[in-house]
Amino acid sequence: MIDLERDPRIVLTLDAGRTGLKFSAIRGDRLIAGPTSRPTEADDPARCLANIVGGFDDLRKVLPAPPAAISFAFPGPADYPAGIIAGLENFPAFRDPVPLGPILEERFHIPVFINNDGDLFAYGEAIAGFLPYVNRLLEEAGNPKRYRNLVGLTLGTGLGGGIVRSGELFTGDNSAAGEVWLLRNKLDPSVHAEEGASIRGIRRAYAEECGIAEDAAPEPKEIAEIATGRAPGNAAAAREAYKKMGEVAGDALAQALTLIDGVAVIGGGISGAHVLFLSHLVRAMNAPYDGYTPPLRRLAPLAFNLEDPAERNCFLRGEARTLEVPGSARRISYDPMRRTGVGITRLGTSEAVAVGACAFALSRLS
């Protein structure tokens, strides 16, 4: 895994939203310029591209040294390795194929790397956030177990995801790895998980519990305040809405971890309300299948909520023991408990994406 802290190269990054573009420059694991902003103007292809180019150009002028690369997240679908964005229905400037990467390479004469934001979030947390945090806790607890693999989930307008395996971002053969939003919806298998684990999922669940129209439901932040008694409304319905969201996200995460076998980190705007859903999410991961006696758990490793002190201590303690090697004086450390930990972003979602973008570029340049 690349050592960001000691790398002197500068990488330009972009946080591309439907209404705004935020540009930054990163050296190592620190922001050295920006963020600066420009409007997206997503309905006008020419003006949108001009704003992207202009934002990087403005940032480059204030740097202490030339940048080594441009690296950023952009909505898909896309052929990310080729730098081609296409088919973005809610981003009209990129409804038709646009070779955004090659356009920027021609303009700035440096390598350009584009990825999905869920991928870069997971990579940033694996490099400098949640994964080293978990391994540091295990080391401090004297436990020999260490983790190398991570699944990242982002909960917001949609359900995003990313996979890091042994220090490397796993993107797949079609730039489509980690598309957790397309996993099944536990509470309604006729639709995908994003319908339940997203802003609209929380609003829909609250509306159903209250018996009101979905478009009359408040935003998740207000629903969270209702659930905790800080705003007027149906508190029971608000808590149930977050519980349902946690169930759907937890089942989807269990499906992903069945294949990946690592730890999991959660970011995105909804993650700020984790006290309302994280316990339900972990409970869904540990839920058994109904058709077996004795019960068969949904997930082979036992899942722990690492934001809960008691569960975190159990996770760190594990079942660590030492074994004698017959015929010698040697003793080895051993922890037979199969387990995974789930927690909230340690960097913040935007910073994790920026760190992931920088690390991805430097790893490719190296």
Per-residue model confidence as pLDDT tens digits over 218-244: 999 999 999 999 999 999 999 999 999
Q: Which of 83, 115, 147 is the last residue of a domain?
A: 115
Average pLDDT over residues 328-345: 92
pLDDT in tens, 41-58: 888 889 999 999 999 999
pLDDT in tens, 175-208: 889 999 999 999 999 999 999 999 999 999 999 9
pLDDT in tens, 153-173: 999 989 999 999 998 999 999
The encoded tokens of residue 145 equal 């177990």
pLDDT band at 335; cut points 50, 70, 90: confident
Query: In this structure, are 138 and 101 located in the same domain?
Result: no
Q: Burial code of 278-299, b = ≥16 C-beta within 10 A, e = fewer?
A: bbbbbebbebeeeeeeeeeebb
For the chain, the 3-state helix, strand and coil shares in percent, each to the nearest 5, are 40, 25, 35
The pLDDT, as a whole number, for residue 322 is 86
| 174: CATH | 3.30.420.40
Residue 138 has pLDDT above 70, yes or no: yes
Query: In this structure, are 30 and 137 located in the same domain?
Result: no
pTM, 2 dp: 0.92
| Kind of pairing between the strands at 20-27 and 84-85 | unpaired
The pLDDT, as a whole number, for residue 90 is 76
Residue 333 has pLDDT above 90, yes or no: no
The pLDDT, as a whole number, for residue 1 is 64
Query: In this structure, are 109 and 154 located in the same domain?
Result: no
Inside any domain, residue 265: yes
Average pLDDT over residues 101-115: 96
Average pLDDT, the chain: 93
Average pLDDT over residues 339-355: 93
Query: In this structure, are 53 and 99 located in the same domain?
Result: yes
The pLDDT, as a whole number, for residue 283 is 97
Residue 18 has pLDDT above 80, yes or no: no
Inside any domain, residue 33: yes
Inside any domain, residue 358: no
Lowest mean pLDDT among 68-72, 88-92, 274-278: 88-92
Q: Which domain holds residue 93?
A: 4-115
Nearest CA to 258 among 296, 209, 201, 315?
A: 296
Q: Which of 81, 115, 149 is the last residue of a domain?
A: 115
Percent of the chain whose predicted confidence (pLDDT) is above 90: 75
How many separate domains does the chain show?
2
Query: In this structure, are 98 and 238 located in the same domain?
Result: no
